[in-house]
Structure 1
Amino acid sequence: MTMNVTKQLWSLARLLLPGVGFALVCVGVYLVSKQVNIPAYIMIVMGFMAIITGVFWTMCHNMRTKMYQRGGHQNHIQVFTIDRPSSFPPSYEESQRNQVSSHTVPETVVVVDAVDAVLSLAPPLYNQDGSEAPDCTWSREQPPRYSQVERCQQGQSVQQHDLSQQVLSDS
């Protein structure tokens, strides 16, 4: 209880100090106009000092209070999330889980420049209801060697040449 009263009194002093300072300056200026010099100048100086002290005291107190409040809020961070309605397509993680659970192999290790690189499958395509698994009918065979392709192409060109010769001889 006494702690609360002292806080309120200090707060009242912080608020009243600039007002008292302004009043001292005004009274000092009034006394200067009435030709009372020495006490008037002392009142003006004391009034300006009261104004400056009150303003800086209030600013420092507010900054210190905000600094303590900010430090206290950092310990209790709340994260708000939104649940997705069932009408939306599945999330990326869900689509990856569905893909892994299917009969395909999810990752392939490929050696590139003597470094092992792991290749993952792309996420499945979305369809209207999001529950059907996409049709992935592609093969994991290794492509043929260049020499085999070259021989095959040479064989086809020879066959095409023979076929064209046969068509010419028939006509």
Structure 2
Amino acid sequence: MYTVEIFVGVFTDNVNAHTWIGVTDSDGNTDYWGFHPADPLPSGLNGAGVVKDDYGLTHTNSSGPLSITSQQYDALVEYINRTREFPPPYALIFGSNCTHWALAGLAEAGVIPQVIGPAMEPDNIVVDFLQTLIFNPILQNIGFNIYHSINSIKNVFNSAQQQASPIIFDLDGNGVSYN
């Protein structure tokens, strides 16, 4: 089964704030990829970008594995390979960062709706800045926490609905009878 998982690391031992993806093939082999500034920070905040193998990074949260089709897998791998060979520019504040790269790849592969995937190339300084405010590892981490909390609450309610109640009410006052 093909899957993709979005990982977020926020202030871990080897990540300040970063988004990357894990792509798993039909044999269960997973490759981890992320988009980084080519130059060290702080000069790398706006310049050349590079796609790197992110195996071994520590994450604080993830989407969980998302099932994808073989066509989506192929399209995602093609996106990764193309951006490894011809990386887009890295502009942390202006709409071309690790989160944008991951979401743009998922949108291009048809895993998420195109409207959710931000543009990687700088276009309009205001729109690019707003995209960075919306699409970043810190907000992704918060979003994943909310998503996981909602699912936990739903699981508790679903479990409670399946439990039989030991309380029996005699509504008509003539005793409880079993048929």
Q: Give the TM-score of the pair, scaled to structure 1.
A: 0.26
Q: Give the TM-score of the pair, scaled to structure 2.
A: 0.25
Q: Which has the higher strand share?
A: 2
Higher alpha-carbon Rg: 1
